[in-house]
Structure 1
Amino acid sequence: MATSETTAAAPRGGRGARERILRAAVELFARDGIHVTGIAKLTDVAHVSTRTFYQHFPSKEALVSAYLQRVASDSEGPVHIETVLERHDLTARERLLALFADSPPAKVVRGCPLHNATVEAAGTMPEAAALVERHKREFTERLIKTATEAGAREPESLGRQLALLFEGARALSTSLNDTLPYRDARELAEMLIDQSTRAVSQLPPGLSGK
């Protein structure tokens, strides 16, 4: 199994060891899974000793937590699509729908690495699970805020519905190895948004809050 060019070319040990371990985790956890990837494989790809590994990460769970923080903030990673909610060049409605854009063609649809990590951990990594839960709740709050900007009559309900739709599309795309669920989800999202915003515009004067 080939390693990345960056980690393969790195010197063993020395400065930058923590970053090399993190890069190895990003590569191996996403491709092979967290449980399958052992410390020996991580240290081999990162070109560090086991001792050096534990100097930077006291446990594998500590590395998993650092890995999740890294992928959640990666400007080019699979979680980056969520940042479309912060764009200022799109209307609130456009930002909500942009979440459901088709992913670029890929041999394997990986889905959300945060969700995948939670499924793999299955309650055995509470620190990592708490990090994922916090991220998902914050994402839902951002959806609710954007739904409010879009003029939804019940933005909290719409935000939670869109979160469910988005997460479901990501999970099903991973299971089917197909991005078609995103297209189906976008159609449903458009219906939900239109129904919610239309409900406001069609209320009698004095009841719409405007």
Structure 2
Amino acid sequence: MVLDTATARQQVLDAADDLFYERGVQSVGMDAIRTASGVSLKRLYQLFPSKDVLIEAYLDRREILWQTMLADHVEAQTDPRERILAVFDFLYSWSSQRDYRGCAFINAFGELGAVSPRVAEMASRHKEGFRQALTQLAREAGSDDPDRLADHLILLSEGAITRAAISGSADPALRAREAATMILDASPTS
């Protein structure tokens, strides 16, 4: 059976997402992607001419997933302060997932950042986008210095993401939420 382009692409991205996130981008070869996706190697290379192109598509997909999951939590809240704390609720929910392995961008950067300027740029852009989202939430909460508050919140968030991946526990997100509450209590507002 010949798959249409959209279906084949989806199957390859599904397989790449599972394998890259579980094992890392360097340890997974195109043959493993072929086997997991059920798409022939020839078709795989027609869709993604190189592994680098596939890694970029994987990270693009992870960016959309991240933004959607984060927005679902934040937008469920109406109180500006609770919207900030919802970030940490999201981190707890995400890091509670059975297959949680931390941030795909940090993982890919750790593996390829020194040799792939494109992966380094994508990771940097992802983290800056998160920082900007936190800055906007801080601004909406009336912070006198939303950039500084966002810097504090992103350090808590990134620490929770990494610590949860290493420890295998979602508890770091709970501790980060507690710390964020203390920071918010101590932060001047307009």
TM, length-normalised to structure 1: 0.80
CA RMSD of aligned residues (A): 2.0
Take 2:19 and 2:139, find their aligned partners in 1: how far apart are those partners? 39
Unaligned runs of 5+ in 1: 1-10, 201-207
Identity within the alignment, %: 34
2:112 to 121, 124, 132: 121
Take 2:40 and 2:63, find their aligned partners in 1: how far apart are those partners? 27
1:94 to 61, 77, 82: 82
* 8 Å Cα contact 1:65-1:128 kept in structure 2: yes
Take 1:108 and 1:135, find their aligned partners in 2: how far apart are those partners? 21
Take 2:106 and 2:68, find their aligned partners in 1: how far apart are those partners? 14
Given the alignment of the two structures, is residue 103 of structure 1 paired with residue 125 of structure 2, yes or no?
A: no
Take 2:61 and 2:24, find their aligned partners in 1: how far apart are those partners? 16
Take 2:15 and 2:110, find their aligned partners in 1: how far apart are those partners? 21
Bigger Cα Rg? 1
Q: After superposition, where does 1:32-71 map in structure 2 within 5 Å?
A: 32-71=23-62
- CA deviations 1:39-84 (Å, max 9, x no partner) are 111011111222211111121111011011112212xxx6644225
Q: After superposition, where does 1:48-197 map in structure 2 within 5 Å?
A: 48-74=39-65, 80-84=68-72, 87=75, 89-101=77-89, 102-103=92-93, 105-196=96-187
CA drift of 1:156 comes to 0.6
- CA deviations 1:6-54 (Å, max 9, x no partner) are xxxxx5x532222211111011111222111111110111112222111
Greater helix share, structure number: 2
Take 1:86 and 1:180, find their aligned partners in 2: how far apart are those partners? 20
1:176/1:189 Cα in 2 relative to 1: closer, same or farther (>3 Å)?
Answer: same
- CA deviations 1:58-111 (Å, max 9, x no partner) are 21111011011112212xxx6644225751642121111111122264445321
1:116/1:53 Cα in 2 relative to 1: closer, same or farther (>3 Å)?
Answer: same
* 8 Å Cα contact 1:85-1:142 kept in structure 2: no
Take 2:34 and 2:99, find their aligned partners in 1: how far apart are those partners? 25
Higher relative contact order (CA 8 A, sep 6+): 2
* 8 Å Cα contact 1:84-1:95 kept in structure 2: no
TM, length-normalised to structure 2: 0.88
**How many pairs are equivalent?**
185
1:108/1:192 Cα in 2 relative to 1: closer, same or farther (>3 Å)?
Answer: same
